[in-house]
Structure 1
Amino acid sequence: MKTLIRTVVTAAALATVTAACTSSTGGTAPPPKVSLGAVRLVAYNDCDDALSGLREHAAQNVGAWGFGNAVPVMYMEDARSVSPNAKSAEQAPEHSTTNVHEAGVDEPDLVKTDGNRVITVNDGTLRIVDTATRKVTASLKLTDSGRPAGGAADLLVSGDRALVFFRGGDIMYKSFAPPGETEYVLVDLAGEPKVLSRIKPQGSYVDARMIGSTVRLVTRSGPEITFPQPKDDVSEADRIKANQEAVRKTPLDAWLPKIEITDASGTVKKDTVACERVSHPADYTGTSLLTVHTLDLAQGVTSAGTDPISLAADGDTVYGTGTSLYVTSNPRWWFAPVRPLPVEDTPTTSSSSGAAPAEEPTPTDPTVSAQPTPTTPPEETEVHRFDISSAGAPAYVASGKVPGRLLNQYSLSEYEGHLRVATTLSSEDGTKSSSAVYVLKADTLAKTGEVGGLGEGERIYSVRFIGAVGYCVTFKQVDPLYTLDMSDPAAPKVTGELKITGYSAYLHPGNTGRLIGIGQEASEKGRTLGTQISLFDVSDPVNPRRLSQLFQKDAGSEAEWDPHAFLYWPKTGMSVIPLSQQNESGALVLKIDDSGVSKLGMIKHPAQEQGENTYQPGIQRSMVIGDSLWTLSYDGLQVNDATTLAEQAWISLR
């Protein structure tokens, strides 16, 4: 008996997907190469070279149970223009946009607005709301009734085109899990919305970025390998040997990412990335491929498909600028088992319970335990850079490596030809840790400088780079906010340090000389107590200080781990964050000026019925449109006066 195991390993909320490809028997030409002087980019010579390299590297990383030391998961194959009634862009009221890392680089989110329309997808149905009439003017069901919609979906919008991201299946954090079905749907929003094309990749979705109308999709896929069914009386060494033999007999087609594209007429095109469009860094596992797809929403899917290029590497975090796309990962983390946390130490998130997390919560998603093998992988972060400054397929530039692990995309920042990378490095037994910021040359990803020794015994909870200055928060019992002078790439240095209780999980630039922090207050022993919003004076980098703090006891906010949930409107100083507190949920409305943080009020959505019970919808996003504040929950949109917070309208999305 043999078991088909798809070797795709995913990380919670960071999962990846393989996507649109060109034919392996022809298709478009290889992607352009970038001249890097002494740096040698390693490309496969031909398909035989690609197969040999992938087989041997994968064989070196296969274990007794396949890729990873966890028991394999077996699963069944998944069977399953301007609108005439819309105002022109010039007439659109002043409005906020998605809170993104880099200006001009849009990120997928639950809701988008152009001032005239609010566009969102819920339960598999796209809805367009007219901001003037405050009514749903159009809707389009995007998922089949036989397939789970998966709740809300992310989307990107450019003009009258929307790209909707459906991520299928549950994701197990840092453990071995099947990918589920993922689909990208391109929708024409002009007049009655209609589907232009559907893109179904094999694998898992990492992330996407959009500049203008051009979207770069990053997906991650693993080889389809049939491993022999292990027997109880076979040693681990023999199992590994048998699995290595299976890897070495696997054809190249098992690695090459595949894609299925269905156009508006229902015609299906299936493609595979050509082997000459696959590159690899000097060191790689052979267990997964990153693929970058390019899709211009204005043009739609052309004969070139999504013009993909692939890299034999792992990836879980995406960061983009106007000219560069970075994908980072720690491959050993993907393939090492995770020890289950003791019950009393398991972190909780306040989004579900309304209560603050227990002592020293993990700043990302909660861990789902895998196998109890106490192996700890080396802590290294791999960084891969693609040049996206030209139209068409991006160019793979270089790969680099730094010690430690990233927190999220805000740990990365490109500035004046250099990439800053903030990581935390822990000892193998987990008893010691410290953080550092590394400066790499953007064209080679070779190290230029570093500053270390941040937060001895602690780990990074938030990072923000603003120009030549960096801010880093570490936490265990107190919250040191470090200010960093990054003006000399070869000699970055710490210029100031502020120790306060609690921590900031997200940092946002305020007015000149001001920094806003969203996180948790904590006791002197490090036990979290509830959400805090802090205003820091960082005008003197040697002496950062906290000017104001607003504390909400036993509360948590989605903005602590998802910056898209944070709204800051500089024009009036209004700020909004989702808030869960005990048995109630809503949106906390604040005023943040140069002197402090004050509470303006709390917005709540109407109670909803569920059988014989009622519940309070949790607010996820907020937007300023004209003189009104719009808030989004799973159940609907509410409009409130931005000054008085008086309710103006309720728009059901159910």
Structure 2
Amino acid sequence: MRTSIRTAGAIALAGLLATACTEGRAAQAPPRVDLTDKVSLVSYTSCDDMLSDIRRKTAENVTPWGVGGPGFYGLAEDAALPATAAAKGAAPDQSYSTTNVHEAGVDEPDLVKTDGQRIFTVSQGVLRVVDIDSRRVTGTLRLVPKEQSWAQADLLISGNRALVLFEGMGGMIPLGAVAKVRPGPSGTTYMLVDLSGPPKVVATMTADGAHVDARQVGSTVRLVVRSQPNITLPPPKPDMSESRMLERNREAVLAAPVNAWLPSFQIESDGVTRTDAVKCEQISHPAEYTGTSMLTVHTIDLAADQTFSPDSPISVAADGDTVYGTATSLYVTSNPRWWTRPMIIDDMPMPTPRATDRPRKPSPTPTTPPERTEVHRFDITAAGSPRYVDSGSVPGRLLNQYSLSESKGNLRVATTSNSETFGGNRESSESGVYVLDATSLSPVGSVTGLGKGERIYSVRFIGDVGYVVTFKQTDPLYALDLRNPADPKVTGELKISGYSSYLHPGGEGRLLGVGQEATESGQTLGTQISLFDVSDPASPKIVSRFLQEKSGSEAEWDPHAFVYWPQSGLAMLPLQSWTGDFVQGSSALVLKVGDGGIDKVGMISHPSKNKGDGSFAPVDNGIRRCVVIGDAIWTVSDGGLKVSDATSLADRAWIPFV
């Protein structure tokens, strides 16, 4: 069995070894890795300039099967670190929890949001507003027809404006736009909703491409979309040779107009629809690129009277799959030859899918891509379109956005090289952390040789300390000293059974890990929550581990599903359990995290029956998210909201959606 890893984690093989700490690693001189490759973006001067160059690049990279390959046819200090280092990043005092995000003050899209007075959810194609005090649904807005209730969506909120993001919904027709929105193979729809009264859509933008990610700072949202050239290739004839197919495809590419590459989008507002595209002069490209993919950044201010601006987008002729944002920077990373996450694990048991899980896209059969990741940085301090700053590259591939961290003028990047990728030799894989100057993205320092024969499963940077988990048969947790960016080093290592696929600050000198426990033979046993003592980075220790057998959690691959509430020490996450081959509903596991260990408080479940609404997609009563508001825990499913006492977990209210 071969499984493509596309998100922040998945259930994988694990082994059982005794806890150990390696003391001599920091003194070892790791091999220095060449970081001299410099990437720089250049803007096109005109459409003629763009067309001649991008035609040639795309023709060089088109295959006999299409643009993009099969599946896309037709388209210096040795002292111990301060014990308080791991306490940084804890949530500030407030009366309600918000989306679990990578960087404080930088919001990320999710299926539920709250401002402490209202809860906003989007599921089954419906946006709902729930009043906290009255515990009533005060606003409902169906965004797509019932037969398209399968459409997955996320939210961003600012004041009385909501932005609904429908990801990769080719062929989806929003209500009120049946004759105006051009369905495409990978179109992405964004809806701007006014919440000042009964919810109503005030504008819709449909981008010709797949949604990569979005980040919100204040009221300003940056949307990142990836598109491919819209070139109609001649269909293959029976018994046609690959060389002839390739020749005909190249001819079609070399004859395509410039509009085939310009990222297009449609904006509908006040009953008027306009179709536009990114201007040639707003598109940049690195010296080496394939011409088979384009990244576009759209900007929208949710606090402004304007809707989507046709003049805001800028594009980069590059591939990309990971977005990381701070208050001042937006980073988009890419591999120049491959835009999917290509990590492949042999014989990997995967979690049983939920009815609401987004389907994984099939991975095309590629050529062996170069083991290098490009990093593009944009300055987002000013209003309007972001400003391109610079680009750089590092060896290997990222796991997810938590592999990136900007601190004190530097960008730390954790990657795995020669991993279980197409054509890769897993025995030669190893991981490292590379430090780049955030302004020029030029190399500053690196530490390599982590987890040889393994790959990264989780990363967390907290202040001047980094934590990296690699895995093959054991779960080494590496602690890194990053105070000297020119000479980062490993200070400690801890080996335990199982693995952590997500790491979270757990208070003073503590680190929480969410993952899976496993037997010595590699069979996964269930969801494991680990509490690590990292007060001494030279000697990380395991304090406590909680195991829920025969279970998996969405939090293992989507950190938005995890909540840690430091005010009370509660940790919450959805938990899907199974008996034999039968999957039970998803409940919320509530744990109490103390300085000395982890204790189970209990489980929260939603009513198992709903009358349904007759739509194609069945209502899933499995809990997806938990929100703390005051002394109550609010849990969210497609079926409704439950309010529970945060201390006893006693039921307070049930708010059905259907």
TM-score band w.r.t. shorter chain: 0.7 to 0.9
What amino acid is the match of 1:597? I
One of 542, 558, 571 as aligned partner of 1:562:
558
Q: Specify the alignment match of 2:23 in structure 1.
A: none
SS of alignment partner, residue 148 of structure 2: coil
Counterpart residue number, 1:348: 350
Q: CA deviation at 1:180?
A: 3.8
2:319 counterpart residue number: 314
Deviations 1:495-517 (A, max 9, x none): 00000001111000111211000
Residues 122, 653 of structure 1: 8 Å contact kept: no
Match 1:628 to one of 611, 627, 632: 632
CA distance in 1 between partners of 2:343 and 2:516 (Å)? 26
**TM-aligned CA deviation for residue 293 of structure 1:** 0.8
Q: Matches of 1:389 and 1:441 in 2, distance apart? A: 18
Structure 1 position 490, deviation (Å):
1.2
Alpha-carbon distance change, 74 to 649 in structure 1, aligned in 2, over 3 angstroms: farther
Match of 2:385 among 382, 389, 393: 393
Partner of 1:143: 144
2:253 maps to which residue? 247
Amino acid at match of 1:620: R
Alignment of 1:584-595 (within 5 A): 584-595=585-596
Equivalent position of 1:159 in the other structure: 159
Contact 2:121 2:128 in 1 (8 A): yes
Q: CA deviation digits over 1:292-334, x for unaligned, max 9?
A: 1110001143584361111111111110000110111224234
Kindly indicate whether structure 1 or structure 2 has the higher relative contact order, using CA contacts under 8 Å at least 6 residues apart: 2
Q: Is the 8 A contact 2:192 2:202 kept in 1?
A: yes
1-side partners of 2:234 and 2:499: how far apart? 49
Which residues in structure 2 correspond to 1:252-271 (within 5 Å)? 252-263=258-269, 265-271=270-276
Displacement after TM superposition at 1:168 (Å)? 4.3
Q: Which residue of 2 aligns with 1:443?
A: 439
Cα distance in 2 for residues equivalent to 1:63 and 1:257: 22
Comparing 293-302 and 448-457, the one that deviates more = 293-302
1:457 — aligned with what?
453
Q: Does 1:133 align with 2:137?
A: no
Contact kept? 1:575, 1:591, Cα under 8 Å: yes
Residue 69 of structure 1 and its aligned partner are, at CA, apart by 3.5
Matched, 1:491 2:492: no
For 1:337 and 1:133, how far apart are their aligned partners in 2?
48
2:522 and 2:342 map into 1 onto residues whose CA distance is 28
Summarize the Cα distance change of 1:507–1:365 in structure 2 as closer, same or farther, 3 Å threshold: farther
C-alpha distance 300-434 of structure 1, shift in aligned 2 (>3 A): farther
| Count, aligned residues | 584
Q: Are 1:294 and 2:306 counterparts?
A: no
Distance 1:93 1:436 in 2: 37
C-alpha displacement at 1:571, in angstroms? 0.5
The 1:366/1:180 distance shift into structure 2, 3 A limit, reads closer
- Give 2:644's match in structure 1, choosing from 608, 623, 640: 640
User: 1:277–1:310: 8 Å Cα contact kept in structure 2?
Assistant: yes
Percent pairwise identity: 58
CA apart distance, 1:121: 1.3
For residue 575 of structure 1, what is the aligned residue in structure 2? 571
Distance 1:376 1:543, change over 3 A: same
CA offsets, 1:568-613, max 9 Å, x none? Answer: 111010110111111343000011122211100111111115799x
Q: Output aligned runs, 1:61-460, within 5 Å.
A: 61-70=61-70, 72-73=72-73, 94-144=95-145, 148-169=148-169, 179-263=185-269, 265-302=270-307, 304-305=309-310, 307-334=312-339, 345=347, 347-352=349-354, 370=363, 375-426=367-418, 428-432=423-427, 433-460=429-456
CA distance in 2, matches of 1:303, 1:581: 43
1:69 and 1:336 in contact (8 A); partners too: no
Q: Deviations over 1:147-197 (max 9, x none)?
A: 6133442000001110001124489xxxxxx74442111111012122111
Paired residue type of 1:133: S
- Would the alpha carbon gap of residues 338 and 100 (structure 1) be closer, same or farther in structure 2, given more than 3 Å must change? closer
2:512 paired with 1:516: yes
Separation in 2 of the partners of 1:295 and 1:584? Answer: 38
Partner residue in 1 for 2:58: 58
Matches within 5 A, 1:599-638: 599-609=600-610, 617-638=621-642
Any idea what SS the aligned residue of 2:337 has?
helix
Matching residue of 1:78:
none
Query: What is residue 545 of structure 1 aligned with on the other side?
Result: 541
Residues 383 and 565 of structure 1: is their aligned pair in 2 closer, same or farther, counting only changes over 3 Å? same
1:68 and 1:336 in contact (8 A); partners too: no
Match of 1:357 in 2: none
Q: Distance in 2 between matches of 1:216 and 1:377?
A: 29
Residue of structure 1 in register with 2:503 after alignment: 507
Give 1:234 deviation, angstroms: 3.1
Q: 1:144 to 1:181 in 2, by over 3 A?
A: farther
Equivalent residue letter for 1:633? S
TM-superposition CA deviations, 1:256-299 (whole Å, max 9, x none): 11111111x21112211111111112221111111111100011
Instruction: Return the TM-score normalized by structure 2.
Output: 0.84
Question: How far, CA to CA, are the matches of 1:440 and 1:374 in structure 2?
Answer: 30
How many angstroms does 1:350 deviate by?
4.1
Letter in 1 for 2:219: S
1:48-90 deviations in Å (ceiling 9; x for gaps):
1111111111111111111233255569xxxxxxxxxxxxxxx
- How far does residue 617 in structure 1 lie from its aligned partner after superposition? 2.3
How far apart, CA to CA, are the structure 2 residues paired with 1:388 and 1:636?
37
Contact 1:381 1:403 in 2 (8 A): yes
Native 8 Å contact 2:39 2:392 kept in 1: no
- Would the aligned equivalents of 1:39 and 1:444 in 2 still touch at CA under 8 Å? no
Taking the aligned partners of 2:129 and 2:508, their CA distance within structure 1 comes to 37
Alpha-carbon distance in 1 for matches of 2:409, 2:264: 35
Query: Structure 1 residues 520 and 52 mapped into 2: Cα distance closer, same or farther (>3 Å)?
Result: same
Say if 1:140 and 1:71 are closer, same or farther in 2 by CA, change over 3 A: closer
Deviations 1:192-229 (A, max 9, x none): 12211111111111110001100011111111112122
Is contact 1:516-1:533 (8 Å) kept?
Answer: yes
- TM-fit CA distance, 1:374: 7.8
Cα 1:607–1:336 change in 2 (3 A) is closer
Return closer, same or farther for 1:11/1:149 CA change in 2, 3 Å cut-off. Answer: farther
Give the counterpart letter for 1:159 in structure 2. G
**Letter paired with 1:555:** S
Kindly report the root-mean-square deviation, in angstroms, between the aligned alpha carbons of the 2 structures. 2.8
Secondary structure in 2 aligned to 1:192? coil
How far apart, in 1, do the equivalents of 2:134 and 2:569 lie? 27
Contact map agreement 1:381 1:405 (CA 8 A) in 2: yes
Give the match for residue 48 of structure 2: 48
- Aligned to 2:535, what secondary structure does the other structure show? coil
Where 1:548 maps in the other structure, the secondary structure is strand
Cα distance change, pair 367–623 in 1 and its aligned pair in 2 (3 A):
closer
Q: Give yes or no for contact 1:421–1:437 (8 Å, CA) kept in 2.
A: yes
Q: What secondary structure sits across from 2:304 in the alignment?
A: coil
- Listed as ranges, the gaps of 5+ residues in structure 1 are 1-9, 15-37, 76-91, 172-177, 354-363
